[in-house]
Amino acid sequence: METSGSDQGRRALPLLNPFSNPRLSHPDGTGSPIEQLAEYLPGAMFRVRVMPDGTRRLEHMTRGCFDIWELDPTAVEQDMGSLWGMVDARDLPAMQESIERCARDMRDWDWQWRIQTPSGRVKWLHGVGRPLREPDGTLIWHCYVLDQTNNLQAQENLRESEERFRRLIDTIPSVAVQGYDDQLICRFWNSASEQLYGWTSQQAIGRSLLDLIIPAQMRAAVIEATDQMLATGEAIPSSELILQHRDGSPVAVFSGHVMLQREGRRGEFFCIDFDLRERVHAEQTRQRLEAQLRESQKMEALGTLAGGVAHDFNNIVAAILGNVTLALGDGAREPELMVSLQEIRKAGVRARELVQQILTFSRREDSQRKPTNPQAVLTDAHALLRATLPVDVKLSVNSEAPVPWVLANATQLEQVILNLCGNAIQAVTGRPNGLVKVTLARVDGSLPASMIDETEVLPPDANWPTSSVRLDVEDNGVGIDAATLPRIFEPFFTTKAPGTGTGLGLAVVHGILKDHGAVLRVRSAPGRGTRLSILLPGLAGDFAGTAVAPEPDVQAVAPESIGSRGHVLYVDDDESIALLVKRWLQRHGYRVSTFTDPQAALRALEGSGLDVSLCISDFNMPEMSGIGLARALKAIRPDLPVAIASGYISEELRREAPAAGVDEIIYKPDTVEALCQAIEKMMAGRRL
């Protein structure tokens, strides 16, 4: 039976004072009727006087004293300490404190406690009493004590209390409670445990807790901790644990433990588990988003750095290639010199390709997108891949027809296919039965979820259309291990041998696809090959009749004497590029005035009245941008055609150029020959 000691909220029934009330005294002096009646009541009634100095004296006790304490009342009157000596040590401090509190506050006392009688019996007693204060400070206690050891009503109350407790625990949501004995056999399993661990109450009760929720690697530690808790009475410290669901999956919980020891019963334990799966999921989501943010910031910073370096490096490479081409024309009669120049040119071309990749990675190029047929792009890329395919590699290209058109930059999309296929071809080269499969297919309806073994590098946009295009590039190569897979899209990271890769191919792919709002997924494992899947949003409508207008043919013009084709004003802050352009244009029959300072060019045009037919200016110059120079030139010569050349044609440039009077924007070419062709087109248009 539980201790139900509580002196609050319960008031003992008023006790009559049979010892001092003269109206209750018997006429013959043998005792009052109440005294006589008390001798026949169950339990014991007594009166205790507490003197101001703390001395206690038992003044009267009924014969029920013998039934309860197994002591004669006269013996108790001589030694009250014998009663206190029987009180269970676990109950004694609280019982003494309750009596002192009631005496101090002068309120009724109501308490339950345990005793052990001289014969060894354990009893539960229930006592009530009322203190009275006399004028001299003496405290008089009138008390009544009843033996409740065999009180069936108390037992029933306890049973009902336990049942209420069980119902309460069973209905608490998200708090799993399991009760088990000292052998770890489950005795209680609430409904939240069913939801958390997958076992019903009928399945769990009677089974070992080890078999239900404890992973194999934790079982020895759980047994040891339980034995320690049973031996010392100290609960296992609460902590976060990874337990086990019925299906074997992990369950993250915050687990606390309670041990109950009740008279006449074996030790009983309760495990209280709070479900942490949502918190763990939220934490994983937060970490993933933070990682994506850090990666995005890193890619943006690297892109800015790479774009700035590549812009300047592009001018250096252009100067090298242009001068090598001029030298090749001058040194045709010296074979050894020609070999050296050709090697310089080959190295320069490689450098130029690297610059193009860097500029693409940093998105410092024309990224104008328009409705594009992905099947046509794949066909063009396939033709290029076939020409360089190793003899021991098979390339399989399958395209379902028709697929939706997409809003894309066709050149960039082709570069994505070439880069992915190039990597796949390298992964299978030299391996038996090397195979690269490229599949283009239509996807209708909602976007399919990524597979369990896929890594989603670029997630879908919230407003994904109902029709899309899927491009898979798959190989049967060696695959990528788990440590390397997260890094394959990092710029300048490569697993290839030195000199065979720049580490920019997949970084460029990542940048292009992100710019196109595409989804990118990767599946790879050692020995299983690699598959990269791209999903592009499809366009609504029929673009089957759409065709790209061909560029007008440019007729080559035979070299003539300098100035025969007109006078060109060329402004570029890079002196080597300005000199190179001047030499090239002069060889093509143009008279050229070059300036590295925009202000000097303006002064020359305004002061000396240069009769120029065309002005071409670099866009990115420190003193004055190409836009500023165009405005100033138009103020002097409104009829003068002005073009701006730039390696990065941004939307801002496209927007501001017409307002500044710019007639043409020229994408800064790879060679000066291409620049000459662009100038000839503009001059031809002017003549028309």
**For the ranges 77-91, 145-159, 272-286, the one whose mean pLDDT is highest:** 77-91
568 contacts 613 by C-beta, under 8 angstroms: yes
Instruction: Tell whether the model's pLDDT for residue 101 goes beyond 60.
Output: yes
The pLDDT value recorded for residue 18 is: 39
Q: What is the pLDDT of residues 183-225, one digit of tens each?
A: 889 888 888 888 889 899 889 999 998 999 999 998 898 888 8
pLDDT (mean) for 383-387: 78
- State how beta strands 467-475 and 530-537 pair: antiparallel
DSSP 321-365: HHHHHHHHHHTTT-HHHHHHHHHHHHHHHHHHHHHHHHHHHTT-S
The pLDDT value recorded for residue 583 is: 83
Q: What is the pLDDT of residues 159-178, one digit of tens each?
A: 676 677 667 667 676 788 88
The pLDDT value recorded for residue 305 is: 66
The pLDDT value recorded for residue 233 is: 75
In angstroms, the Cα distances linking 285 to 241, 279, 280, 291, 388 are 20, 10, 9, 10, 43
- Alpha-carbon span 557 to 194, nearest angstrom: 87
The pLDDT value recorded for residue 296 is: 65
- State how beta strands 642-646 and 614-618 pair: parallel
Q: Of 145-154, 291-300, 416-425, 513-522, which gets the smallest average pLDDT?
A: 291-300
pLDDT (mean) for 439-445: 90
pLDDT category of residue 364 using cuts at 50, 70 and 90: very low
pLDDT (mean) for 93-120: 91
Q: Of 121-135, 358-372, 540-554, 645-659, which gets the smallest average pLDDT?
A: 540-554
Contacts of 577 (CB under 8 A, 6+ apart): 315, 318, 319, 618
Percentage of the chain exceeding pLDDT 70:
75
- Alpha-carbon span 609 to 603, nearest angstrom: 9
Instruction: Tell whether the model's pLDDT for residue 20 goes beyond 60.
Output: no
The pLDDT value recorded for residue 606 is: 83
CA torsion angle for 684, 686, 687, 688 (degrees, to 10)?
90
Instruction: Tell whether the model's pLDDT for residue 97 goes beyond 90.
Output: yes
Letter for the amino acid at 527?
Answer: G
Instruction: Tell whether the model's pLDDT for residue 670 goes beyond 60.
Output: no
User: What three-state secondary structure class fits 319?
Assistant: helix
**Cα 60 from chain centroid?**
77
Identify any residues that bridge with 442 across adjacent strands, giving them in sequence order.
Answer: 469
Instruction: Find where tokens 């100035």 sit.
Output: 563
186 contacts 207 by C-beta, under 8 angstroms: yes
DSSP 422-447: HHHHHHHTTSTTEEEEEEEEEEESSP
Percentage of the chain exceeding pLDDT 90:
14
- Alpha-carbon span 140 to 109, nearest angstrom: 13
More confident residue, 293 or 410: 410
Contacts of 413 (CB under 8 A, 6+ apart): 372, 374, 377, 406, 512, 516
pLDDT category of residue 577 using cuts at 50, 70 and 90: confident
- Backbone torsion region of residue 248, taken as left when φ is above 0, otherwise alpha when ψ lies between -120 and 50, otherwise beta: left
Mean pLDDT of the chain: 78
pTM: 0.38
- Alpha-carbon span 676 to 669, nearest angstrom: 10
Backbone angles phi, psi at 269, to 5 degrees: -120, 150
pLDDT (mean) for 435-450: 87
The two most distant CA atoms of the chain are separated, in Å, by 160
DSSP 359-393: HHHTT-S----EEE-HHHHHHHHHHHHHHT--TTE
- Alpha-carbon span 611 to 213, nearest angstrom: 91
Exposure string over 209-222, b if 16+ CB within 10 A, otherwise e: bbebbbeeebeeeb
More confident residue, 286 or 667: 286
Instruction: Tell whether the model's pLDDT for residue 629 goes beyond 60.
Output: yes
Identify any residues that bridge with 407 across adjacent strands, giving them in sequence order.
Answer: 371
109 contacts 129 by C-beta, under 8 angstroms: yes
Q: What is the pLDDT of residues 120-148, one digit of tens each?
A: 888 888 899 999 999 998 999 999 898 88
The pLDDT value recorded for residue 557 is: 36
More confident residue, 338 or 558: 338
Exposure string over 223-254, b if 16+ CB within 10 A, otherwise e: eeebeebeeeeeebeeeebebbeeeeeebbbe
Q: Per DSSP, which regions of 502-613 are E strands? A: 519-524, 530-537, 567-571, 591-595
More confident residue, 265 or 452: 452
Instruction: Find where tokens 């940048």 sit.
Output: 511
Q: What is the pLDDT of residues 53-67, one digit of tens each?
A: 888 888 888 878 888
pLDDT (mean) for 449-455: 77
Instruction: Tell whether the model's pLDDT for residue 541 goes beyond 80.
Output: no
More confident residue, 194 or 462: 194
Side-chain half-sphere exposure of 252, counting CA atoms within 13 A = 9
